[in-house]
Amino acid sequence: MTNNTGVPPIAKARVLVVDDEVSVCSALARSLTLLGYSADAAVSGYEALEMLERTAYDAVVLDIRMPDINGIEVMQQACQMDPNLSIILLTGHASLESAIAAVRSRAADYLLKPVGVYGVAAAIERALQRVREDVPKALSPERFLRVGPVTLDRERHEVRMVGVGGTGSIGIGLTVSESALLAQLMQNPDTVFSCRELARTALGYDVSEIEAQSIVRPHISRLRGKLEPDPDQPCLVRTVSGRGYLFGLVYSE
């Protein structure tokens, strides 16, 4: 198997995979081994803690929801054993809130299941690179912006929405410019921004309003196509006639 993550594993890093789904856990550990890591598997939180007491690991890939002891508790105890340990959380939609809170406080990253081995490897490499460069693993709370059921991850340029327009929880990838525009609007909900203001504050263009419209409007159109249940009747990124755009939730009956 070839490593397609773009970055080689850091010095044969030792990784512990923790997931109570035995087949998932063993398959991920085997795949990481084939990518060049030294990977072990633990199928419960308590087994993981026992292995962490015996062996020095560089990173732990940790499922949040387990029947014996949940991943957040395992993370807390593991960090007491080794404050330099990098922890990547695996989470489903139901535990996304816990994952984001954990990233804000201590975890290096979180990944939404299902996730491929290359996504896991890339997260491990990012976390270990931060350790090697002596950058704090706990990510800034400003990475995440949340307005109602909409959460923007500005590091990944990804939006997660729950229940907008009758939808379930979904993940949506954005371009850098789309992410920057959405961040500006979400940081100031129900505030109207002209195209010129958005071009300057979000995209770094100091241009006239006419020029800004030609820059901003195509991004807004694509953003609506990704986020809105009905882009022709937006309920998130809304137009205020003659003034500009605002972010504010509107639900149709």
Averaged pLDDT, 180-193: 93
Instruction: Label the pairing between strands 38-42 and 59-63.
Output: unpaired
SS3 label, residue 42? strand
Domains and CATH numbers, the chain: 14-139 (3.40.50.2300), 142-247 (1.10.10.10)
DSSP summary character for residue 189 = T
pLDDT value for 93: 64
pLDDT value for 249: 73
Enumerate residues 6+ apart whose C-beta is below 8 A from 195. Answer: 209, 212, 213, 215, 216, 217, 244, 245
Query: Is 100 a residue whose pLDDT tops 60?
Result: yes
CA 41 to chain CA mean position, Å: 24
pLDDT in tens, 7-30: 555 557 899 999 999 999 999 999
**Cα separation values, 64 from 107, 122, 181, Å:** 12, 19, 32
Residue whose pair of structure tokens reads 């979000």 in the numeric block: 202
pLDDT in tens, 144-157: 888 888 889 888 78
pLDDT value for 252: 41
**What does the alpha-carbon distance between residue 222 and residue 86 come to, in Å, rounded to a whole number?**
36
Instruction: Report CA torsion sign: 4, 134, 97, 251.
Output: negative
Which segments within 76-220 are labelled E, that is strand? 86-91, 109-112, 144-147, 150-153, 158-161, 170-173
Query: Which amino acid is residue 141, in one-letter code?
Result: P
Instruction: Find the helix or strand (DSSP H, E) in which 125 lies.
Output: helix 117-132
